[in-house]
Chain A
């Protein structure tokens, strides 16, 4: 269809506020961060161009360990969220009495303000006063208090568990909505043919929810990779840096130590990884739903 120049100009005019908004909110800070990452910007008034020095410096400082830890943390958390979320959605979709009540009961982790939920977990993990340590001792599973946040491995998993707790309701609801779109007659036909529950799940439910599952996994991956609040409130990246992920490391450097240049270099690295995830997400969407991606 051909449009007159004035019609095209009018279309651009309508788009202009959105374009300006994106330029101001996204593009400007992004470009500024990239520029800062090549400087020694800090508290001092003058700023000097330092080339790749910040990038060289962060990779000398065991940054590869931090990257690896971030990927493991993210992968474990997303895998658990997706597994529990899908299982929860299947269970909530079952025709059982009190179905609505169960659906409401999964919401609190999502509804409770995140910081409050994290503090609550912090207390549960406390070795001296915490519920988990207390229960383990009461059931004879532990001889004494266990400070879950006091050891690298337990602290690492404790932060993952908290992230999963917060993230599962969203995954569950999303997957539940997807499951409910599967035509009932498929199940009825399979049931008539004598297919069992697990067989119906494996051969009908799972293939039908794969597109949503992949989409949700990618989105969850992006959110989780950038997860800051949970680790910061529970451990501040400790003990001995065992829960320091890229975002924590960036905050400590950029904001905590006022090394804006170095912090920006770390932020750019995060941005690069997230860009790869976003690209993968976009390609996935393109393959699954070419119309939506266009």
Chain B
């Protein structure tokens, strides 16, 4: 064979095997993943799915949390949607009712694999609009050293609101350190933290028929308890969001906080003794509760690859792949199973985060989620600053919510 023939054949082979050229006919499924990076677990799954679905290619873009949802939503509103995006489940109703995303049918068997109420975080009008992919629940962390210094039993965390407020009071009065971390900054997690109180007292915000149920005795008790514990909280709680309150706790300057499993990991090297327990319960609680926050993969309308995008989303969050992702990212498991049993057996501190799911509640699904959020934040801030009484603030907020549902 002549050298020129070998050269031509080699060039042809190289050109044909170039990834870009070989996949020139592939249909792209664009995927916005929230965060500074794409999860290594997910990245490893892309080629597997592409192999099983020839002719389709995943094009992923990592977008920081601050802009992620806005970017995906704005692109869709502008008529140039991405295939799928990682979204807070709270916005699904807004996207669905504006005809920007497609429903994601979930069989009864599929739904049954999840913990109770998880599917409800992505359900509106009887349909599912996202594939849950990340889950967060909250528990009570307490500083055992501060409990001991205040004359409290350091091994006995408060189990009720009454005990929680009494413990916060004792810590504040006997040690001079704030007893509880109240979150009340103009930030989304101010609403989340208030919902911990709502869901540990059998409260609700909106019912399945879309009626606002916020102005209830259960929620009034919740708001009153939050007001009462603020007297023993850090100074100026409207200056602090959740992570800032957690930082104060990590610094040993707070007796108790409500936080996610992430705090457990940060507390590993804490210079004080600490424990984690289920969120204390209100007088109307029926069992351990917590706010259930999920993030989902939402599939946008108008890309022409919706079915494949749904398939890809379900593949990422399948019973095989999801536990690997959760373990890598330190997330609360979405589904019960042997992996969860092992998790709790290996680290009993996981238990309260799982137990709270039984009577937990979702982030309420509203048509105008930001409107809901701002209303809740205004209500909480007015109460913790003493500008309004809980009953009046609750009534005003409930009335305002009608506009956003």
Contacts and interface: CB of A to CB of B under 8 A. Distances in A.
Contacts of B184: 239
Contact of A240 (B234, B240, B253, B378): B378
B381 A257 contact: no
Given A42-B98, A43-B73, A256-B370, A127 B236 contact: yes
B402 interface: no
Contacts of A147: 234-240
A146 B100 CA distance: 45
Contact of B381 (A45, A128, A144, A240): A240
Contacts of A44: 97-99
A155 to B, nearest CB: 8
A128 B234 contact: yes
A240 B382 contact: yes
A127 B99 contact: no
Interface centre among A144, A147, A239 (most CB of B within 10 A): A239
B127 interface: no
Interface centre among A125, A146, A238, A255 (most CB of B within 10 A): A238
Given A43-B73, A128-B251, A128-B253, A238 B238 contact: yes
B387 interface: yes
Given A144-B235, A146-B235, A151-B236, A43 B94 contact: yes
Given A43-B94, A128-B248, A255 B70 contact: yes
A235 to B, nearest CB: 6
A239 B73 contact: no
Contacts of B169: none
Contacts of B77: 43, 258
| Contact-size category for B | 35 or more
B185 interface: yes
A63 B187 CA distance: 21
Given A237-B186, A241-B378, A252-B374, A150 B235 contact: yes
Given A236-B186, A252-B370, A145 B381 contact: no
B28 to A, nearest CB: 23
Interface in A57-77: none
Contact of B235 (A43, A45, A127): A127
Interface in A35-49: 42-45
B368 interface: yes
Interface string A221-258: 00000000000000111111100000000001001111
Interface of A: 42-45, 125-129, 144-151, 155, 235-241, 252, 255-259
16 contacts: A126-B239, A126-B244, A127-B235, A127-B239, A146-B236, A147-B234, A147-B236, A150-B240, A155-B239, A235-B186, A236-B185, A238-B185, A239-B185, A240-B387, A241-B378, A255-B70
Which 3 A-B pairs have CB atoms at the shortest separation, nearest pair first? A150-B236, A147-B236, A238-B186
Given A255-B70, A258-B370, 19 more contacts: A43-B77, A43-B98, A43-B100, A45-B99, A128-B247, A147-B236, A147-B237, A147-B238, A148-B236, A150-B237, A236-B185, A238-B185, A239-B184, A239-B186, A239-B239, A239-B385, A240-B238, A241-B378, A258-B94
